[in-house]
Every structure is written in structure tokens, then in C-alpha cells.
Amino acid sequence: MSQSAAVGTAVPAHHAEHVEESFIRHYVFSTDHKMIGRQFLFLGLFMMVIGGLLAMLVRWELAWPESQVPLTGWIPEPFMYDGHMDPAFYNALFTMHATIMIFFVVMPILVGCFGNFLIPLMIGTRDMAFPVLNMMSFWVAAVSGVIMLAGFFVPGGHAAAGWTSYAPLSAVPTYTGVYWGQNLWCISIIVLGVSSLMGSINYITTIINMRAPGMKLFRLPLTIWALFIVAILLLLALPVLTAALGMLLLDRLAGTSFFQGPGGGEPLLWQHLFWFFGHPEVYILILPAMGIASDILSVFSRKPIFGYHAMAFSMIGIAFLSWIVWGHHMFQSGMNPMLGTSFMISTMVIAVPSAIKTFNWLGTLWGGDIHFTTPMLNALAFVSMFVIGGLSGIYMAATPVDIFIHDTYFIVAHIHYVVFGGSIFGIFAAIYYWFPKMFGRMMNETLGKIHFWPTFIAFNCTFFPMHILGVGGHMRRIYNPLQYNFLVPLQPINVFITISAFCLGLAQIPFVINFFYSLFAGQKAEENPWHANTLEWTAPSPPPHGNFGALPTVYRGPYEYSSPEVPEDYLPQTRRLAGEPVARAH
Amino acid sequence: MLRWLPENISTFGPGIDQLFYLIYYITGVTFVLVTGLLVAFIVIYRHREGRRATYTHGNTALEIAWTIAPALILVMLGLLSKGQWDLIKENPPPSDTQIRVTAKQSNWEILYPGPDGKFETADDYQVDNDLHVPVNKVVRILLRSKDVIHSFFVPQLRLKQDALPGREIIVWFQATKPGRYEIPCAELCGFGHSGMKGALIVHDAADYDNWLKERWPPKETGTAQADSSDAKKG
């Protein structure tokens, strides 16, 4: 440890001499973790626009089935017939909405952007352990994104077997009529898996080896704990998906039959492999947001996080348990029912650490001095929406109830409360909170609130009624609910949801304006605008190449707010109080 | 919210609904409690000049309490669920009425074994999408698929089971009310997924006898067989 710190201190002098970098080295093929973080942010936000628009088309179809969709006359046959949607194209739309949002929005932003940007800054080092690998990880992800988008333009259209791509539907081209779309889908995610592998190795190495002197593991901010755990999950989960995708691709292209009965394969094998990856994946999407929300709640309550150790250990517990709950996606799949019972038990168990975290967030607010900044509002939205998403999970964990609600809109409601209500509000909170450090300018608070409130309200109007649809038995992934007599009385709810979804889309306009306006004309940010304790706020805004002048030394945990030892209501990790021993490298 | 549940017409349905209601009340109370506290805290502890936050890192007793309480509730829900689950999925009761349902893109192929009770004999009757069953009798469905994964779903029976190619899965139910109900496919199965639906026709005893007699007339069994096997080919 002392060695790497020593190596680290040697760097700034070196960098100070070489500030001049070519445009390409600085903005395109950058090895600076902060630039790579920003690149991931722009990739994710760009993809979010596409994923969001796809959702709008899906929602139009559900509210006014088989009618002419406005503004889509330019989409050619056989996808749209003069604005009328083809059912196969509808399948491609929801497949790609989910694929893009999960793999190209939430993962790049929470893990790619904030993982890259925050890890070196919050642990007090100059860059990632492997900067070139880090650069490659972004560019490989970008290539993967291009491959994924290319799928929209091949004959037969894009993948249409759902983001879960259950075999044999996904394994035999004639079952969907999709040829290269599904192949490109597989290839893109295999490539993305390589990117994420490079990233996760880098994160793990950096966090283990390159912490500043005095930065013990239990002085790490919870955001870093979350990213550390997520990197381990990624390292272990993604290769399973990559292997499964490779097999699927071989089934499609080389005539193997891993997932088809007649050739000796087994359709359920795909589901086991997919969900063995897929459930840790759910926590990959939510854990970083949990860490971020913990940090932001503590900062704006001006109060230490309640139960720091319990918070860290509950995330570790969630990570371990996430490996043995995958079968709860498969209760009705034909898997042995006895196995269903064991997966139900492990699933019930994983609810306990989530409950601990929720109560600790409440404990953090209790007795606080709460400032309602935009990042704080988004963090509070995260907590309250995660409560709903967590509680609705109990319904499907209970196997008999799951018989009814499995594959209905209840599941769609649940996943959106977790991934939008959780991860996306976490992303908004993080962007508003760290924007000053990333770009050196503050975001506009008024516009931030104009973004937050309509988003929060429209989000709930969009996704809460989906629970009701699910209780009414409304299946997922159907193109026209009016084909079913028992769904006809529910149709007004579909219309309400669609109108709310359009409002939710429109509510993002103030965010886009705020983001770009603040990027160029926002008020200049000081070093520590939020009076926070963690190390990134001791670097200039934005931090230069190499981040810190002299490397910081850490004297305490990250949550010493309103400590009686100092008159101010914050006590940065780097501040040495009289009488404290000089920290040595640990 | 649960008033939106479709009418319940199966013997095990009330058990599922009771559990549904129980979880609804438990999660409802938890939601009101947690959100109530959240709102109360952000109102009470909002920033005011000159106030300083309470400096505390946690409270072990409290943390142990709120770990154990949810754990106990979840264990109880797990035990209650296991009983219902085993009843529905583990131990299908014996039945005189067996019907083979084979899913295919995008129809349900229904195969009745006929009076001999055996499949793949001359008196079989095969039809797409019409599933005739008697009321108040245990019915066994032998569920198969010809191509991709489908899911046999009858909302009013509170019954759902995926159909897998290469496997036969036994599903049972006992309908308590005559009528006509829809059998949607609940698992994405391709471009025809939406609109893939069959009809479950639950007959009362007399009606069911009539249907049987119409399908397999008692005296001219031979010709009926020939007719139905023709129909099957057609």
C-alpha cells in the first residue's frame, strides 16, 4: 500500500509538465478516469433518449391498439404500415426498450460513469489502476452500442424475443422472423460483457490497492462500498451471460441445440443461465443507487448515516444472497416445484437486508437538519419508490400468489419501481450532486425542481396503476389488450398510463435544458459547494489530471456531520484535529 | 386495489386470494408506516436557522429489532405459501378427466382421449382452442408445447403454468362455476402472442353429458370415431 501511494505522489509533478494534450488524447481516447466517466455519462444519456422514445411507441399501442401512431409515417414496412404498427415490430420495441435501458443506460451511467468518476476521487488517488484498460472499456462499450443500434436497420428487424430472450423463441429464427437482429443483439451484449469485465477488474484493483493513507475499508463512503460490491458481482455474473449468449448464437448460426429439445438440449437451461446472471444484475442496477442515496441523505440531513456498518454489511449480504435467488423468476417455468419452495425461502431472506437499509435511511433523516436541494429530493424519491418496489416484490416471492401475477403487469410495475424509481432517481440524484465536481459549474436549482416534481408525479401516475392492471390479470408483452374480453374493462387504465407516460417523457425536457445550460453557463462551482466530507470535495472543481495536489490523508469516516468536535456542521475526512496522531499509510 | 381481481372459480383460488389479501394488508401497513415516518421526518426536521442535527451513528437495539421483525413476518409468509404451493403444484389429485393441451404458435391444440380414456387411439378428438370440462370435477391437463414456450393461464382459475417443448407437465384444477372463460397465453411466444387465446367452457353436469353424447354418440361409436379423426386431419 505504501508503495502504491509513493508511486502515486510521484505522478503530479510529471503531469504538471505535460498539461498540454492533443484534442484526441484529451476528449476522445482519454485515459483520465474523469473524462472516461463523462464519456459514459453522455453515452448513457444519449441511449436514454432512444430507450424512452421506444417506450412511448409501446405505450401508444397499448392505449389505442392498432390505431395510427402520430409522427411515425417515416418508419417503413414491414415495421409500420402507414403508421399502423406490426405486432412483430411491437415485440421488437419492448425488447429493445428494456435492453437499452438496462444495458446502455443504467449500467453505463451508474457503473461506467459514476464508478469511473468517483472511485479514484473518493478513495483519494490520481487515477484508476489500469488507465489504458479503462479507456478500452469505454470504447468497447461504445462499439457494443453501435452494434446494438445497427440491429434496427437489418432486414427482419431487431431482436423481438424480449430482453430475457427465452429459448427456443430466440434460438430459432423462424419462430420470430428475426434473423440478424437477434444475432447482433447477442454479439453486442457479448462485447459489452468484455467492456464490463475490464471495468470491474479495474474497480476492484483500484479500491483494494490504491486508497489514500488512512482510508481504511470501513472509512469508505457507502457509494464506494456499493461500487466495489457491484464490480465483484459484474466480474462473476457477466461471464455466465456471455457463455449463454455464445451458446444461443451457436444455436442460431451453427446448428447446435443447447436450448432445443430435439437435438438433446433443454429450453430451461437458458432460463437458468440467464437468471443466474439476471438476478445479480438487478442488484448491479440498484446497489450503486443505494450507495449514492446513502451519501446524499447524510450530506443534506447534516447527520451521520445511521448504522454505517449495517449498511455496508447489508449490501454484502444482498450480494451473496443474489446468487441463490434466481429461481424466483422461474416458479411457473416447469422447474421442479420443490425447487420453487427453496427459491422462495432465499428470496424472502434477501428482503431482510433491504428492510434494514430502508430503516437506516429513515434513521438518518430522524433528528436531521434537512436541506431540500434537488439531489436530496431525488434521493428521497429513491427511498420512497424503493419502498414500494421492495414491498411489491413480496407478492411475487410468495409462490402461490406468483402463480397469478407472474407474467402480468404487476411484474412490469415492480421492475419499474425498482429500476426507474430506484436506479433512475439515483442517477438524477447523482448527476445533480456531482455535476459541480464533474463540470465545474452548478446546475440550476429552480430548473432542477421543475424537473423533479413533474417527474415524480408522472412516474407514479405511470407505474402505480400497472399494479392494478396486473391484479386484473393483464398479461405482459401483448400488443392489443382489447383482444381479450376480460381486459376490456381495464382499458381506461391503459389510456391513463399512456398519457402519464407522455407527461413523464415531457418532464425530462427541463433536465435536458438544465444540463446543457449549466454545462456552458452555469454558476461556477466552488471546491466544496455542499459542505460535504468526502475526498472528492477537497479537489478543485473540476479536478485536474491527477486530481489532487498532494495526495490526501484520511483521519476519519465519511459521515462526521454535526460532530460536537467542531463548530461547523461538517468535518471532512482529511481534516486533522489538534491532538490526533498523524496518519500513516495503512 | 384487490377488487380488480377477476372472479374466482377454482377450488384452490380462495387460498391464493387469502394469501394475496394477507400480503396486501401487511405491505399496506408497512408502506403507510414507512412513508408516514418519512414524510413526518422531512417535515419535522426540515432546515431551520440555528438548528443543529443530532449527532448519532446508530442504535444497535433498534437495528436488531428492525432486522428481526421483518424476518419473522417473512418466515410466516413463507410457511403459509408453502402449504398452498404444494397443494397446487406438488400433489395433483386423481382425476377421471384428462385432457392433453399442446401449445403451438399461436393456438392451443386440445386433445380429448374419448370414451376409452387413452390418448392416440381412434376415438380421440382434437380441436383448436376449445377446452370443455365438467364443473366440480378434478380435471387434469397434460400440458405440452410443439415449438416455443407458452404459458397456460386462466385468470379466473388462478392458474398459470408454462408449456415447455419436449416435456409434459401435469396441471390440475376443479372449476366451481359453469361458464365460458378465456385462456390467454402468458409467455411471449412470437408475433402471434397477442391474441393467442382459447376458451375454457365449464359445463354443469347435464350439459357436460350432452356435450359428451354429441361428440361421441353412444350407439354409433364407430362412425363418430371416423368423423372425428377426419376432423383432426382437416
Is residue B233 scored above 60 in pLDDT? Answer: no
Smallest CA-to-CA distance from A229 within A112, A292, A320, A305 is with: A320
Q: What is the mean pLDDT of residues B8-32?
A: 97
- Are A369 and B52 in contact (CB < 8 Å)? yes
Helix (H, G, I), strand (E, B) or coil at A475: strand
Residues of A with CB below 8 A from B90's CB? 337-338
Cβ within 8 Å of residue B122, ≥6 positions away:
B225, B229
Q: What is the pLDDT of residue A464?
A: 98
Q: What is the mean pLDDT of residues A12-24?
A: 60
Residues of B with CB below 8 A from A348's CB? 74-75, 77-78
pLDDT in tens, A300-329: 999 999 999 999 999 999 999 999 999 999
Residue B220 banded pLDDT, cuts 50, 70, 90: low
By Cβ distance, the residue of A162, A351, A360 closest to B188 is A162
Distance from CA of B135 to the nearest CA of A (A): 21
Classify residue A82 by burial, with Cβ atoms within 10 Å: 0-12, 13-18, 19+. exposed
Residues of B with CB below 8 A from A408's CB? 186
By Cβ distance, the residue of B74, B158, B167 closest to A403 is B158
Q: In the 3-class helix/strand/coil scheme, how is A71-119 assigned residue by residue?
A: CCCCCCCCCEECCEECHHHHHHHHHHHHHHHHHHHHHHHHHHHHHHHHH
Residues of A with CB below 8 A from B52's CB? 302, 369, 562, 569
pLDDT in tens, A153-209: 999 999 999 999 999 999 999 999 999 999 999 999 999 999 999 999 999 999 999
CA–CA gap between residue A278 and residue A271 (Å, rounded): 9
Is residue A398 scored above 70 in pLDDT? Answer: yes
> What is the DSSP-derived secondary structure letter of residue A115?
I
Q: What is the mean pLDDT of residues A348-362?
A: 95
CA of A308: which chain B residue's CA is closest? B57
CA–CA gap between residue A178 and residue A160 (Å, rounded): 7
CA of A310: which chain B residue's CA is closest? B63
Computed over every residue of chain A, the mean pLDDT equals: 94
- Are B160 and A332 in contact (CB < 8 Å)? yes
Residues of A with CB below 8 A from B105's CB? 175
* Dihedral pair phi/psi, residue B100, rounded to 5°: -95, 125
Residue A19 banded pLDDT, cuts 50, 70, 90: low
User: Of all residues in chain B, what percent carry a pLDDT higher than 70?
Assistant: 93
Q: What is the pLDDT of residue A533?
A: 97
CA–CA gap between residue A179 and residue A429 (Å, rounded): 40
- Are B197 and A362 in contact (CB < 8 Å)? no
pLDDT in tens, A461-514: 999 999 999 999 999 999 999 999 999 999 999 999 999 999 999 999 999 999
> What is the DSSP-derived secondary structure letter of residue A264?
T
Is residue A98 scored above 80 in pLDDT? Answer: yes
Is residue B219 scored above 90 in pLDDT? Answer: no
Computed over every residue of chain B, the mean pLDDT equals: 92
By Cβ distance, the residue of A260, A383, A569 closest to B52 is A569
CA–CA gap between residue A376 and residue A449 (Å, rounded): 11
Q: What is the pLDDT of residue A14?
A: 43
Q: What is the pLDDT of residue A299?
A: 98
Helix, strand, coil abundance in chain B, percent, nearest 5: 40, 30, 30
Is residue A368 scored above 80 in pLDDT? Answer: yes
Distance from CA of A581 to the nearest CA of B (A): 23
Distance from CA of A268 to the nearest CA of B (A): 8
Q: Give chain A's count of helices (H) and strands (E).
A: 19, 2
Helix (H, G, I), strand (E, B) or coil at A561: strand
Q: Beta-carbon neighbour count of residue A352 at 10 Å?
A: 22
CB of B53 less than 8 A from some CB of A: yes
